[in-house]
């Protein structure tokens, strides 16, 4: 480039020199002017040629030129060639990525920040019924009209997947997961979980049926045990001890069956039944009294911090069950003379109930699994506390049914806090008939 530049400078200098000599020879300035105008004319032509070459789509075969202009064209052509190759490479990568996404059995859908369809794979056509020609650029919620799906997308909480029937086949169940990327864009992936769903349904039915079937024999057994305990005289100590043990175990079994049935009901029934404005203050006051009676010998200090006017749109029985489990646990897992605090507060994020104790605490490693059925960090506690292992699973389900969340924080040996978070739409804005 430097050599061409030098040549071009020499060429211009030579031209000026020639024109100057000619001007001297004829004794007039016009040969110099002619040389200058000629050079400007030639350069302008080159500029036009460059412009028309640049606006062409292919950028191959640059116009013929000499000197610096020729060098210019060669360099530009190389640049364009490099860019073309990079583009071809990129297109190849995109094509291969599309091919592999198309080969996936899972549905892949891309939507832009306004919820309009940008891309989907072949599985989406099969499971969702998308049509390449007419559906591109359509709002996704116009094509998938399930109310749960719309709510899931608008809520923006994608921590849990969503299961809904396929829009083209009610018998197929799809499980959606959403990943956000870019500026408000979303990648939706769905897989066919029909088989898993059926197995889960079978499990739920099985547990519900077994629990239901166990109820009657258990009632009969308990009835006889009670009668026997009433009739066996105190002198027959061994028999009485055996019967007392049998009675306490059948009570435990009854509690288990009751909790299993409650869990089945929470899983299998409509979440919106029996919605009322529940007076929280009265409900928790009663629970405090019960908790004090339950752990009378432990001499706990139980404090309530609840505004009198606290109200929540909820199912009162379910709420009582959830709060009851948290408070009972606090009593169970807090040693003598311990302190338990029950607090209710509201803010722009909704309503919150926390139960804090300074009891035995939980190793944080166990916290993520604590709401699983029968999960216990320390099995040796079971016999001492006599719980069913279903309490926190019940709390979690009640919270899900109230569009809320259970948060657990704890430190081994220091105590625990269980907080129920309810969304703002559960708050009572104006006076309503109150239950509780």
Q: Nearest to ligand ADP by Cβ — which residue?
A: 387
Output the smallest distance, CB 382 to ligand ADP, in A.
6
Quote the CA–CA distance of 28 and 25 in Å, as a whole number: 8
Residues 6 or more apart in contact with residue 14 via CB below 8 angstroms: none
Structure-block tokens of residue 53:
């070459």
The CB-of-391 to ligand ADP minimum distance in angstroms stands at 2
Q: Which of 67, 161, 389, 423 binds ligand ADP (CB under 6 A)?
A: 389
Q: Is residue 295 near ligand ADP by the rule CB under 6 A?
A: no
Provide the 10 A C-beta neighbour count for residue 434.
Answer: 12
Interface with ligand ADP, residue 306, by CB under 6 A: no
How many other CB atoms sit within 10 Å of the CB of residue 91?
10
Q: Which is nearer to ligand ADP, 186 or 329 (CB)?
A: 329
Q: Which of 387, 420, 422, 436 binds ligand ADP (CB under 6 A)?
A: 387
Find the shortest distance in angstroms from Cβ 352 to ligand ADP: 17
Q: CB atoms < 10 A from the CB of 117, how many?
A: 20
Nearest to 173 by CA among 159, 161, 185, 156: 161
**Residue 70 in contact with ligand ADP, rule: CB under 6 A:** no
- Residue 324 as a binder of ligand ADP (CB under 6 A): the answer is no
Q: Please, are residues 436 and 283 in contact by the beta-carbon 8 Å criterion?
A: yes
Percent helix / strand / coil, the chain, rounded to 5: 55, 20, 25
String of contacts with ligand ADP for each residue 407-426, x by CB under 6 A? ---------x----------
Instruction: State the number of CA atoms in the 13 A half-sphere of 284 facing the CB.
Output: 26
Query: By CB under 6 A, is residue 378 in contact with ligand ADP?
Result: yes
Least separation in angstroms between residue 405's CB and ligand ADP is: 16
Least distance to ligand ADP, CB of residue 433, Å? 33
Output the smallest distance, CB 201 to ligand ADP, in A. Answer: 24
Residue 246 neighbours by CB under 8 Å, 6+ apart: 225
149 binds ligand ADP, rule: CB under 6 A: no
DSSP H/E element including 313 = strand 311-314
Q: Which is nearer to ligand ADP, 300 or 426 (CB)?
A: 300
Question: Which of 359, 404 has the CB closer to ligand ADP?
Answer: 359
Angle between helices 391-401 and 237-268 (to 10 degrees): 20
Binds ligand ADP by CB under 6 A, chosen from 59, 377, 405, 409:
377
Contacting positions for ligand ADP (CB under 6 A)? 325, 329-330, 333, 357, 359-362, 370, 376-378, 381, 385, 387-393, 416
């Amino acid at each position: 480039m430097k050599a061409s530049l030098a040549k071009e400078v020499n060429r211009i200098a030579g031209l000026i020199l020639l024109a100057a000599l000619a001007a001297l020879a004829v004794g007039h300035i016009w040969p110099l002017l002619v040389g200058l105008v000629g050079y400007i004319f030639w350069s302008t032509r080159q500029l036009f040629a460059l412009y028309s070459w640049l606006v062409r789509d292919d950028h191959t075969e640059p116009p013929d030129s000499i000197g610096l202009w020729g060098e210019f064209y060669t360099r530009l052509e190389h640049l364009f060639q490099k860019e073309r190759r990079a583009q071809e490479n990129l297109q190849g990568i995109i094509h291969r990525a599309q091919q592999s996404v198309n080969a996936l059995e899972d549905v892949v859908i891309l939507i832009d920040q306004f919820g309009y369809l940008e891309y989907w794979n072949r599985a989406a056509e099969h499971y969702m019924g998308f049509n390449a020609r007419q559906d591109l650029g359509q709002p996704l919620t116009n094509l998938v009209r399930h109310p749960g799906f719309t709510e899931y997308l608008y809520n923006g909480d994608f921590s849990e997947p969503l299961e809904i029937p396929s829009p083209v086949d009610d018998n197929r169940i799809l499980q959606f997961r959403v990943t956000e990327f870019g500026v408000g864009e979303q990648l939706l992936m769905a897989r066919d979980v029909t088989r898993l769903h059926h197995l889960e349904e079978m499990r739920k039915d099985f547990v519900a049926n077994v629990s239901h079937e166990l109820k009657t024999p258990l009632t009969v057994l308990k009835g006889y045990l009670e009668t026997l305990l009433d009739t066996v005289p105190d002198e027959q100590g061994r028999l009485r001890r055996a019967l007392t043990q049998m009675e306490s175990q059948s009570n435990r079994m009854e509690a288990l069956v009751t909790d299993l049935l409650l869990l089945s009901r929470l899983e299998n029934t409509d979440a919106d039944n029996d919605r009322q404005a529940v007076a929280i203050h009265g409900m928790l006051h009663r629970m405090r009294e019960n908790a004090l009676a339950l752990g009378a010998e432990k001499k706990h200090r139980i404090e309530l911090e609840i505004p009198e006017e606290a109200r929540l749109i909820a199912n009162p029985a379910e709420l009582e069950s959830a709060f009851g489990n948290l408070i009972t646990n606090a009593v169970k897992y807090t040693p003598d003379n311990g302190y338990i605090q029950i607090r209710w507060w509201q803010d722009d994020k909704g309503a919150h109930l926390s139960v804090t104790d300074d009891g035995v605490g939980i190793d944080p490693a166990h916290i993520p699994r604590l709401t699983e059925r029968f999960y216990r960090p320390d099995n040796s506690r079971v016999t001492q506390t006599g719980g069913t292992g279903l309490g926190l699973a019940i709390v979690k389900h009640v919270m899900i049914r109230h569009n809320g969340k259970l948060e657990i924080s704890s430190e081994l040996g220091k105590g625990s806090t269980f907080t129920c978070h309810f969304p703002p739409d559960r708050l009572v804005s104006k006076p309503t008939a109150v239950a509780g």
